[in-house]
Structures are given as structure tokens and as C-alpha cells.
């Protein structure tokens, strides 16, 4: 299901009959036996001609429209504003019509205006809905982008061509988006991966198809953090001296209450984030010093800037240590013309969050000031800026990419 299937102006409708039996069954299901809905005499005492259908029954009618037609199977509500205009009685036929009024590619949602009329064509309700279209983005299988690279004579591109970047975890998620975005502005890219060579090949090929330079590099930073210098030297003939790194490689998230969190869990994240990051920066430090230019971007987490989520103590602790490394290296490497910063995403649609329920995504989007969750491209855009000469005096900071959910 794609938002492209539901352009602004598309309409769908249903007609449902309100019967005594339907009202009785809804009362049994909901537990709402208000006499207004169950007894004609009680309703007349309140000024109605007969008993009145439950207002929430109208919500069920809206659910029928959303779940079967607009957009149909896989739909999930994230917002509803409903106004009842007239009561609905047994014997009424209610016609519900919805029309798409807005589409959000980034949030994978549509906005729908709904009107309901009764048998006499009197409006009985109106509503506005925001509906999500499942959990995942509708993107091409190889992650291709329609964004064109900058022209080769663009000054930023010319400088970037001499500044190869090693992107750890570059075959998927945020790393993949960062690799492609940096390639579009001219940087030669080393796509780091641990196991999925096919995914790394896909990123490399998409960069080359766009006119960029890219190679893949198998490197498990958590197993052998000291091997980075030798590995990068081995591919320098293909891309040149690597003078920048974006370190985002991460083991899978393992949730566990602190009393049952093992030393192995702490060690896994410590080696991947801190030892791995330190080893890579040590490996490229001679090249940064020789070129008088360098960039280091560590991927953090918004949990460092607000109350962290429960059951992730090993993960958050290692990321906090990586923040300490960021600050220390910013001081030590600055005189080489190198900057060291951290970028901390909030909830972002990646492999690490694949177990997050679609409803949780939609609820988080509703809470966010931007009314959506993060995409890998949001993080990539900031990384591209930090790689530029315009960011040459930004050093030793932790920048959130949260849409305003975190404001340090």
C-alpha cells in the first residue's frame, strides 16, 4: 500500500442500516446500556421520538470505511476529530463518505474528511481523520533515489572529491542513507558492513549509477577494532586517503531489565561503539593530520538528551561513553582542522526499530511537533552539513534530530 494510491480528492463511501438488533449487539459489545439507547420510553422522557443509537456506533461505521475502502486493509488511525450533528435512530440508513484532503509521504499517512447523512439526506456527523498506511515506507528495493548529484564543477563537490568517507554500518538504515547523501555531494564512500554483502553491493551500485565513487569494506568493528588502519590502507588506491568517518554500526538492540543485563551485553555495545569508534579514528588520524582536514561523526541517541527508555542500560551506557569520546577527540584533533561531533536521532524508521509496532510509530508521530517520526534521510542531511566547510567551526557538540521532541 502506497500513499500514491490515494491522491487528494479521492473519495469512497459506504451505506449501513441502523437496526434495533444492531444497537442491542453494540450495547452488549461495549457494555453501554444507557437507557437512552435501550428504551423508547426513556428516550421520549428526554425529548426524543424513540431510542437513539450510540454515538460510538458512528465511530464503528468510520472504522468500516477506513478498514475496507479508504485506505483499506493495513490502515491504522493516528488521529480522529469527530462531531455529531444529529441523532441517529433505528430505521435510519447512514451514508458515510470520505475524501482525501492531504497526503504525507514522510509519515506514510493520509488525511480524510468524512461526512455522514441519514435517510433524509440530513448531515448527522462530520469528522477529520489521519490514517497511517502500515509500518514501512514504500521505497524501491535497492533504495534508489531521484535526487541528482551536484554538478562536478560545484565548489563543494570539488572539495568533497578529495575527502573519502568511511561509513560504518553503511549498508542499511541510516548508514545507507548517509552513504548515498554524501556521495551525491561528491565524497568517495567506503560502505562498511558486517555480514550482508548483498546490501552493501546495492548501496555501492546505486552510488556508482549516480556517477559517484564507492567501494564496500567488510569490517566488524566490535570484533577487531584495531584493524581499521590496515583495512582502510588496503583500499586507499581505490578511493584515496580516508579522512572522515561516520560511525553508526550497531549490534541489534537487546532489551533486558537491569538485574538480568549481563556483562556480555555491556561488552557487546562497548566494543561496537567505543572501542570500534576509537580504533577507526586512530586509523584515519595520520591522514587527517597530513591533509589538514578531517571529520568524525558518531551516531548517538536522543536517549542521551532526555530520560532514557527502560531495559536498555547497556546500550545507553555505551552511547554515553561514546559521547565522552566525542568530546575528548574534539579537543585533541581540532588543531588538525578536524571536527568531531555526535548526531543523536530520535525514533527513526530503521532496522533497529523494525520490532516497533505500527501503532507505536503512529502514536509517536502524533506526539511529535512535526507530526511524523524520523527518516534516515533526516539524519543524513545533518551529516552532510557537518562534512561541509560551512561546519568547520562546529566541534564537540551533540546535535539531536528529533523534530523537536528533544530540546536540549
Beta strands 93-104 and 109-117, pairing class: antiparallel
- Catalytic hit among 166, 193, 273, 315: 315
At the top level of CATH, the class of 3-133 is alpha beta
pLDDT of residue 5: 85
**CATH topology identical between 3-133 and 155-401:** no
> 127 has which bridge partners?
82, 114
The whole-angstrom separation of Cα 56 and Cα 63 is 11
Residues of the chain with pLDDT > 90: what percent?
Answer: 56
pLDDT at 143 over 80: no
Contact between residue 313 and residue 261 where contact means Cβ atoms under 8 Å apart: yes
Is 194 a residue whose pLDDT tops 50? yes
- Closest by CA to 125, choosing from 72, 181, 183, 86, is 86
- Per-residue pLDDT, averaged over 349-377, amounts to 78
Task: For residue 321, give the nearest of 271, 287, 366, 386 by alpha carbon.
Answer: 271
Q: What is the pLDDT of residue 350?
A: 77
Report the pLDDT value the prediction gives residue 296, as an integer from 0 to 100: 98
Domain boundaries, the chain: 3-133, 155-401
**pLDDT at residue 355 in the model:** 63
**Cell numbers placing 209:** 549509477
Give the three-class secondary structure for 345: strand
Q: Which residue has the cell 444529529?
A: 86
Q: What residues form DSSP beta bridges with 111?
A: 102, 130
pLDDT of 398 higher than 60? yes
Q: What is the mean pLDDT of residues 305-324?
A: 92
For residue 26, is pLDDT > 70?
A: yes
* pTM of the full structure: 0.63
Residue range 168-192: mean pLDDT, rounded: 94
- Confidence bin at 354 (pLDDT 50/70/90): low
Q: Give CA separation, 116 vs 51, 79, 291, 360, 387, in Å.
A: 19, 18, 68, 29, 54
Return the pLDDT at 217.
93
How far, CA to CA in Å, does 156 sit from each of 160, 179, 182, 211?
6, 16, 11, 16
Q: Is the model's pLDDT at 323 over the cut of 60?
A: yes
The answer to whether residue 159 scores a pLDDT higher than 80 is no
pLDDT of residue 178: 96
Query: Is 315 assigned a catalytic role?
Result: yes
In sequence order, what are the beta bridge partners of 80? 129
pLDDT, tens digit, 9 for 90 and up, residues 72-111: 888 887 778 888 888 999 999 999 999 988 777 666 788 8
Q: Tell the CATH superfamily of the 155-401 domain.
A: NAD(P)-binding Rossmann-like Domain (3.40.50.720)
Amino acid at each position: 500500500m502506497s500513499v500514491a494510491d490515494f491522491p487528494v480528492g479521492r473519495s469512497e463511501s459506504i451505506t449501513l442500516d441502523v437496526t434495533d438488533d444492531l444497537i442491542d449487539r453494540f450495547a452488549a459489545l461495549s457494555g453501554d446500556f444507557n437507557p437512552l439507547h435501550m428504551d423508547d420510553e426513556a428516550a421520549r422522557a428526554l425529548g426524543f421520538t424513540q431510542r437513539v443509537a450510540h454515538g460510538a456506533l458512528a465511530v464503528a461505521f468510520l472504522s468500516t470505511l477506513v478498514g475496507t475502502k479508504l485506505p483499506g486493509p493495513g490502515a491504522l488511525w493516528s488521529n480522529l476529530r469527530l462531531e455529531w450533528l444529529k441523532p441517529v435512530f433505528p430505521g435510519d440508513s447512514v451514508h458515510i463518505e470520505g475524501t482525501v484532503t492531504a497526503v504525507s509521504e514522510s509519515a506514510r499517512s493520509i488525511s480524510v474528511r468524512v461526512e455522514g447523512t441519514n435517510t433524509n439526506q440530513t448531515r448527522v456527523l462530520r469528522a477529520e481523520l489521519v490514517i497511517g498506511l502500515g509500518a514501512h515506507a514504500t521505497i524501491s528495493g535497492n533504495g534508489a533515489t531521484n535526487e541528482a548529484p551536484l554538478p562536478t564543477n560545484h565548489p563543494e563537490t570539488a572539495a568533497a572529491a578529495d575527502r573519502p568517507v568511511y561509513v560504518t554500518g553503511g549498508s542499511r538504515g541510516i548508514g545507507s542513507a548517509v552513504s548515498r547523501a554524501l556521495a551525491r555531494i561528491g565524497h568517495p564512500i567506503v560502505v562498511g558492513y558486517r555480514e550482508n554483502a548483498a546490501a552493501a553491493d546495492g548501496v555501492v551500485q546505486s552510488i556508482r549509477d549516480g556517477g559517484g565513487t564507492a567501494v564496500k569494506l567488510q569490517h566488524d568493528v566490535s570484533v577487531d577494532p584495531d584493524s581499521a588502519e590496515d583495512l582502510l590502507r588496503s583500499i586507499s588506491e581505490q578511493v584515496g586517503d580516508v579522512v572522515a568517518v561516520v560511525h553508526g554500526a550497531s549490534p541489534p538492540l537487546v532489551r533486558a531489565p537491569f538485574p538480568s543485563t549481563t556483562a556480555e551485553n555491556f561488552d557487546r555495545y562497548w566494543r561496537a561503539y567505543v572501542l570500534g569508534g576509537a580504533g577507526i579514528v586512530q586509523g584515519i588520524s595520520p591522514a587527517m593530520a597530513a591533509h589538514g582536514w578531517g571529520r568524525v561523526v558518531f551516531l548517538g541517541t536522543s536517549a542521551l538528551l532526555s530520560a532514557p527508555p527502560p531495559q536498555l542500560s547497556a546500550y545507553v551506557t555505551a552511547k554515553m561513553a561514546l559521547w565522552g569520546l566525542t568530546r575528548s577527540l574534539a579537543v585533541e584533533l581540532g588543531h588538525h582542522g578536524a571536527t568531531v561531533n555526535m548526531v543523536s536521532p530520535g525514533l527513526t524508521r530503521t532496522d533497529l526499530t523494525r520490532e516497533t509496532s505500527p501503532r507505536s510509530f503512529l502514536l509517536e508521530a502524533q506526539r511529535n511537533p512535526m507530526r511524523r517520526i524520523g527518516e534516515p534521510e533526516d539524519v543524513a542531511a545533518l551529516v552532510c552539513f557537518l562534512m561541509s566547510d560551512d561546519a568547520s567551526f562546529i566541534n564537540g557538540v551533540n546535535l539531536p534530530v528529533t523534530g523537536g521532541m528533544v530540546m536540549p
